[in-house]
């Protein structure tokens, strides 16, 4: 039990340190992320095995951190095309499962001890008190990916199998939309003679973009219903 408490404390301290660093050094974080993406992109034509290794490593790490997943979803579509959607779906699964298990096993019994470290009073969210399939589904549009997995790992009487199934289904439309937008942006950036007006008449760009706006609308609905 003491080891679990120590791991929980370390987790919260790392999370807070990461959040503070991200806020204070936002430009440096963005620059580092940009350089990482460019490095992987440049290795695609130089060393394919190295490229595959780094893109898998990047996805594995990225989906286990509080970083916004929108960026990696766009990147996978940009660099891998339609295959990027399947890569994103796979690592979405990994992220959901591992962060939920970690939260449920290490943080659940010790969360109250470290609640003072969290500025947000989670209990005000209705779905925390009684999570059901609808609240789990809509919360995916309300709370960022990483924190959603951690928060629901703290809930009582919520099994991983049900949480994963509902969460994965909720994440797929956004993953497909952002991947498709990334594919269109790849054509805009890399194809010679491809103009911005071509981008906005490209159905592979417009439909996913409309889907993103729909997701934003759903997020607004979920916020009113579940907070």
Structural domains in the chain (count)? 1
Percent of the chain at pLDDT above 90?
17
What confidence tier does 7 reach under pLDDT thresholds 50, 70, 90? low
Q: Render pLDDT for 153-174 as a digit per residue (tens, 0 to 9).
A: 887 778 899 999 999 998 998 8
| Cβ proximity of 181 and 84 under 8 Å | no
Q: What is the pLDDT of residue 189?
A: 65
What's the gap between Cα 98 and its chain centre?
13
Question: What is this structure's pTM?
Answer: 0.74
What confidence tier does 132 reach under pLDDT thresholds 50, 70, 90? confident
Q: What angle separates helix 69-80 from helix 48-62, to the nearest 10 degrees?
A: 160
Q: What average pLDDT score do residues 53-57 get?
A: 90
Question: Would the pLDDT of 190 be above 70?
Answer: no
Six-digit token string for 76: 């996978």
Q: Which residue has the tokens 């929980």?
A: 8
CA–CA distance, 227 with 224 (Å, rounded to integer): 6
3-state helix, strand, coil in the chain (%, to 5): 80, 0, 20
Q: What is the pLDDT of residue 116?
A: 44
In whole angstroms, how far apart are CA 108 and each of 13, 113, 209? 16, 10, 38
Domain that holds residue 154: 2-226
In whole angstroms, how far apart are CA 186 and each of 2, 75, 109, 171? 50, 9, 46, 22
Q: What angle separates helix 48-62 from helix 26-46, to the nearest 10 degrees?
A: 150
């Amino acid at each position: 039990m003491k080891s679990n408490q120590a791991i929980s404390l370390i987790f919260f301290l790392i999370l807070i340190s990461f959040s503070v660093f991200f806020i204070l050094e936002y430009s440096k974080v963005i620059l580092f992320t940009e350089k990482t993406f460019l490095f992987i992109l440049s290795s695609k034509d130089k060393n394919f095995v190295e490229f595959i290794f780094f893109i898998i490593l990047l996805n594995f790490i990225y989906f286990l951190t509080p970083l916004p997943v929108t960026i990696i979803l766009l990147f996978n579509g940009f660099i891998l095309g339609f295959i990027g959607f399947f890569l994103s779906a796979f690592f979405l699964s990994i992220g959901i499962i591992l962060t939920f298990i970690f939260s449920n096993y290490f943080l659940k019994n010790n969360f109250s001890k470290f609640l003072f470290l969290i500025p947000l009073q989670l209990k005000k969210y209705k779905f925390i008190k009684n999570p059901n399939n609808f609240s789990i589904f809509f919360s995916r549009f309300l709370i960022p990916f990483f924190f959603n997995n951690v928060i629901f790992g703290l809930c009582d009487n919520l099994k991983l199998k049900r949480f994963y199934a509902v969460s994965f289904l909720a994440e797929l439309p956004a993953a497909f939309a952002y991947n498709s937008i990334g594919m269109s942006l790849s054509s805009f950036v890399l194809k010679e003679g491809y103009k911005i007006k071509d981008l906005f008449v490209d159905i592979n760009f417009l439909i996913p973009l409309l889907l993103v706006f729909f997701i934003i609308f759903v997020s607004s609905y979920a916020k009113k219903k579940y907070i």
